[in-house]
Chain A
Amino acid sequence: MIANLTGRIVMRPAKSAIVIALLFSFLYPTGAQTSSKKRVEVFAKLPDWSGIWELDAFVGQADGQQFSAEGQRRLKEYAAALRPSFTPPYQAAYDEIRKKVEEAVAADPAHPPATHQPLCEAPPFPATSSPGMFEWRVTPEETTFISTVGAVRHIYTDGRSHPPNDELWPTLMGDSIGHWEGDTLVVDTIATRKRLYMGELSGFFVPMSDQLHFTERIRMVHHEQMQIDYMVEDSVALTKPIHMTITHVRVTDFNRMVEETDCEENERDPIVDGRFRTVVH
C-alpha cells in the first residue's frame, strides 16, 4: 500500500486483488468450502443406517453358536428361495462337486471335508449373510459395509462407472457402484470371483462364468430391520436369474465392533489331510 498526494490509501493492483479475494473468502465462502456445505446438505438427505446389525438367522444362538429353532427356520426359507437353474455344462459341474462332497462326507462323517484355507478368510461377496456383526457407513461418495468377520465392501455412489474391462480382475468383493432411489441403495457388482458358494456343498464352490453379475437393493425397512434383495445373473451359467431377499436386524445387546477372526491365536479345529479335526487338549 502507498499514500497518494491526497492522503488516500491506494493499493497496487496485484496486492489489492489479493486483499479483496481474502475479504470475500470470509464473507462469501467459495470453492472447497461451498462444496463442503453442499456435501453436508447431501449427507443430511441420506438414510441413517448407523448402528450394528446381524443376519436375523443368527439371533438367539447358544454359547457354541448353535442355531435357534427360529434361526434354522429362517435359513431353510432362504435356502428354498435359492435354487439356481444352471445351464447344462454348469449343472454337470455342480453335480460332480456335489457327488464328491457327498462321498467324502459318507467316508468319514465325523471329520467333514475341508473347503479352503485359511480358515479365517473373509467371507466372499456379498458377505452380508455371514456370522458376526455388521456396520453400514453411508456417506455421499460411498457406502461401506464392514463385518466383524473380516469383510469390507466399498460401494461407490459418486456417480462413477465400473472400471474398463482391461482394468478389472476377479476379487473377493468385486467392484461395486451404487446409486440412491429414495431410501434404497441400488448396488451393481461385477468382477467377483467366478463362483458361487452353496451350503449344501459343504462350503465348496460352484464355478460360474465371467458374466456373473449381482444387483442388490438395500433399504432400512424400519429402525430395527434392514432388507437386502439380491438378483444374481449369469447368462452363461444360469438359465434364469436367481432372486432372494435377506433380513438384517439391529443388534441391541452390544455397542461396538470387535474383530473375531484371529485364527492364529487359538485355532483348535485345524484342517488335517483335507478334513476338519479337533484338538481336544
Chain B
Amino acid sequence: MVLIGIGSLLLANSAFAHHSRSMFDQTKQITLTGTVKEFQWTNPHCWIQVLVPDPDNAQAAPVEWGVEMGAPVELMRKGWKPRSLSPGDKVTILINPLRDGQHAGLVLSVTGPDGKILGRPAEAIK
C-alpha cells in the first residue's frame, strides 16, 4: 500500500480509492519489451496485456504479462488517450514487479512504437 509505514492519520490512502499497492515491489524495476495484446482503458485501473518473447529462446512462446496503471482520468491527465495503444504495437515498459513473482507489475513508463515515452514523463521515474 502506498502509504504503509508512513503513519498518515487522516490521510486516506489508495485503499479507499481502489486498492493497496504494496503487493508491488517499488524498490525493483524491470524492463519488458514485447507486443501489446490488449490495452484495457477501464476503471478502477487501466491495464496493458503484453506478450514478451524469451530473449534467450526465440522458439519459445512469448510470456503474457499484465501491467497495471492508474485510473483512465489520471492517465489522461498525463497525456494518455483511450486509443494510445493498439494490439500489435511494439512497446518497452518499465515496471515495479509483483512481489509474488507472477508476471505482473505496476507501470512506471511506456515507450511506444515510435520510440517515444507515451504521455508526459513523470517525476516518479527520475
Contacts and interface: CB of A to CB of B under 8 A. Distances in A.
Nearest to A76: B6
Contacts of A71: 123-124
A110 B11 contact: no
Interface in B23-45: 23-24, 26, 40, 42-45
Interface string A182-219: 00000000000000111110110000000000000000
Interface residues of B, number: 66
Interface stretch (A29-37, A43-51, A128-136): A128-136
Among A75, A83, A260, the one with the most B-chain Cβ atoms within 10 Å of its Cβ is A260
A254 B12 CA distance: 23
Nearest to A148: B73
Interface in A118-150: 119-124, 126-127, 129-133, 148-150
Most chain B CB neighbours (cut-off 10 Å) among A65, A67, A232: A65
Contacts of B47: 266, 268
Contacts of B21: 64-66
A131 B14 contact: yes
A87 interface: no
B123 A262 contact: no
B10 A66 contact: no
Interface residues of A, number: 75
Given A76-B6, A115-B15, A110 B99 contact: yes
Interface string B58-88: 0000001110111111111110100000000
A69 B123 contact: yes
Contact of A254 (B20, B24, B77): B77
A164 interface: no
A82 interface: yes
Contacts of B119: 63
A149 B100 CA distance: 28
A274 interface: no
A278 interface: yes
A260 B44 contact: yes
Contact of B43 (A110, A114, A124, A263): A263
Given A62-B108, A276-B22, A280-B98, 12 more contacts: A63-B78, A65-B69, A66-B106, A79-B9, A130-B17, A132-B17, A197-B10, A200-B6, A203-B1, A244-B9, A269-B19, A278-B68
29 contacts: A59-B123, A62-B124, A63-B108, A65-B21, A66-B108, A71-B124, A75-B6, A82-B7, A82-B9, A109-B99, A110-B99, A115-B20, A119-B44, A120-B18, A130-B11, A131-B13, A131-B17, A133-B73, A197-B11, A199-B3, A202-B4, A242-B9, A254-B73, A254-B77, A261-B18, A265-B43, A266-B43, A269-B23, A278-B98
Interface of B: 1-24, 26, 40, 42-45, 47, 49, 64-66, 68-78, 80, 95-96, 98-100, 102-104, 106-110, 119, 122-126
Interface of A: 59-71, 75-76, 78-79, 82-84, 105, 109-112, 114-116, 119-124, 126-127, 129-133, 148-150, 196-200, 202-203, 230, 232, 242, 244, 251, 253-254, 258-263, 265-269, 276-281
